[in-house]
Structure 1
Amino acid sequence: MGGAERTARKRRQEQQRSTGSQVVAKARGKKDTKKIIAAVVAVVVLAGVVVGGIVWTNASKNATEGQTIQAADGAAATHDYPERRDGLVVVTGNPEASTTIDVYADFLCPVCGQFEQAYGEQIKQKVGEGVLQVRTHMVPMLVEASDPPGYSLDAANAALLAADEGKFTAFHDSLFANQPEEGKRGYDKEQLIQLGRDVGITSKAFADGVRNGTFDGQLIEEMKRIAADPSLEQTFPDGQRGFGTPTVVSDGSIVSFSDAQWLDKLLAN
């Protein structure tokens, strides 16, 4: 092979290598660009999920904000049995009733809500028949379990004020029928005042008492007393012992309501 031909062949090989390198570089560039675009898209999608989660969480947490507490069915109806406040306890029913129960409950307690849903109507029926008297203790046990804190105390105070207006049952039933979720926003004082209006409370004293927390200090002290009362202690499924809501007491003994027939059996005895 002559020198000129070798030179020409060498030039062609160099050109081919150069072209191949350019193709590889171009392909790599496209691949890197795709990786960058994919990474950017992934970050944007992730950011959207995070922001969406925050918006959803805040909306869920504040579900009660701006809402009206609906008056429970039959809240406007009148009843024949007496209803009065006795200190921090609301007593409903015939004082000559053969059976009396004390019910300790917190308006934020989800198990109290379940208790009311399961047995509330049956209890009211027996009260109406004159065979049962109920002493309701509103205990602010979960005062720190709303966001912001304070709903269970505000609700207990408002319920006592509603009792002074002769509207305790209507107010009590409406709060449980529209129970907020534990750990999230409860209802504020103005919402509680509006519920009072909706069940027929028109006095300025009720609104002022809700805003000023008339019974707050007494309720807090009563909660401390109840929590330290050994007669109200019980053992829970996890083995711990103490006071919890709801608690039902009759004739000085705690009543188990795990049996659906507990009230009929109590009345029969």
Structure 2
Amino acid sequence: MSKGSRDRADKARRIVEQQRLAERRRTVATWTSVAVVAVLIIAGVIGYSMVSGKDEKTQSALVTPSVAVDEGTAFAVGSGPVTVDLYEDFMCPICKNFESTSSAGLRQLATAGKVTLRYHVVSILDRASNGTEYSTRSAGAAAAAAEEGKFTEFHDALYADQPEENSDGLSNSKIIEIGKSIGLTSDKFAAAVNAGTYTAWATKATETFSARHFTGTPTIVVNGTQVTGPQDSVPTVELITQAVDKAAG
């Protein structure tokens, strides 16, 4: 074989080897890509399962008080033709002030058969209790009290013993003690407070509050229309009564 023939043969062999090497590289790259995709799919399935499981757990944890009204988010006092919705947070000092100045007048309207008071206890001030989530815990305790027919008594007792903003709030044992002071002596109430039975419910009530485009407490709504005082201040009982009379026609 001549030198030229040998050179051409060597070149041909190199080309074939290069082609084989390139093919092996493509095969490895293909299987690597398949493996990566498989890992991503598996991770996605696991992630979805975890999220789905979490959602299902959250949903299953939602216990709505049987006595709650307005899509299970409030507790009613009275049965008058005009609806007055009160949105409050047990950690809110302005709510306590509103209750001290207006509660008696509003309850009188309910007693007289003029209004249905609907109390919505929300938890927008958890950030003001040093991580103890007092707003949520107290709202959940109020739901437990409502189940035993003691909502208004417990509501009033919590405001009477309201902790300061940016404190730890009241402990569960203190909340249970307050409950006992107004007749909530059953093991069921104490167990609900300690177990956080109505925690998910309190979250849902707060989400409903936000979905209705309300941002602060107290918020007062008469027959679907928010009532405010001058410069968006908290309305007095007189202003609320005027709104009730207007709604009643």
Q: Same fold (TM over 0.5)?
A: yes
Distance across 2 between alignment mates of 1:192 and 1:88: 21
Are positions 1:267 and 2:244 aligned together? yes
1:92 correspondence with 2:69: no
Question: What TM-score do you get using the length of structure 1 for normalisation?
Answer: 0.61
Cα drift, residue 148 of structure 1: 4.3
Supply the distance in 1 between the matched residues of 2:219 and 2:111 (Cα, whole angstroms): 22
Alignment partners' CA distance in 2, 1:209 and 1:251:
33
Distance in 2 (CA, whole Å) between partners of 1:218 and 1:264 is 31
Deviations 1:33-72 (A, max 9, x none): xxxxxxxxxxxxxxxxxxxxxxxxxxxxxxxxxxxxxxxx
Q: Which residue of 2 aligns with 1:168?
A: 151
Secondary structure of 2:76's partner?
strand
Q: How does 1:2-151 map to 2 (within 5 A)?
A: 84-86=67-69, 87-94=72-79, 97-151=80-134
Cα RMSD (Å): 1.8
Q: Distance in 2 between matches of 1:264 and 1:101?
A: 10
Instruction: Please report how far the alpha carbon of residue 259 of structure 1 lies from its aligned counterpart in structure 2 after TM superposition.
Output: 4.9
Secondary structure of the 2:242 match is: helix
Query: What is the total number of aligned residue pairs between the two structures?
Result: 174
Residue number in structure 2 paired with 1:194: 177
1:204 to 174, 187, 196: 187
Shift of 1:264: 2.2
Q: Which runs of 4+ in 1 moved over 6 A?
A: none
The answer to whether the 8 Å contact 2:126/2:136 transfers is yes
Q: Which protein has the bigger helix share?
A: 2
Gaps of 5+ in 1: 1-83, 233-242
Once the 2 structures are TM-superposed, how far is the Cα of residue 229 of structure 1 from its aligned partner?
2.8
* TM-score normalised according to structure 2 size: 0.65
**Per-residue CA shift, 1:228-265, capped at 9, x if unaligned?**
433x3xxxxxxxxxx11111112221111455321221
Gap regions ≥5 residues in structure 2 = 1-66
Counterpart check, 1:219 vs 2:202: yes
Paired position in structure 2 for 1:50: none
Q: Secondary structure at the match of 1:201?
A: coil
- Do structure 1's residue 249 and structure 2's residue 221 form an aligned pair? yes
Q: Are the aligned partners of 1:88 and 1:160 in contact in 2 as well (CA < 8 Å)?
A: no
Aligned position for 1:157: 140
1:259 and 1:156, CA in 2 relative to 1: closer, same or farther beyond 3 A?
closer
Correspondence for 2:20: none
2:206 and 2:200 mapped to 1: Cα distance?
Answer: 10
- Residue 140 of structure 2 contacts residue 193 of structure 2 at CA under 8 Å; is this kept in 1? yes
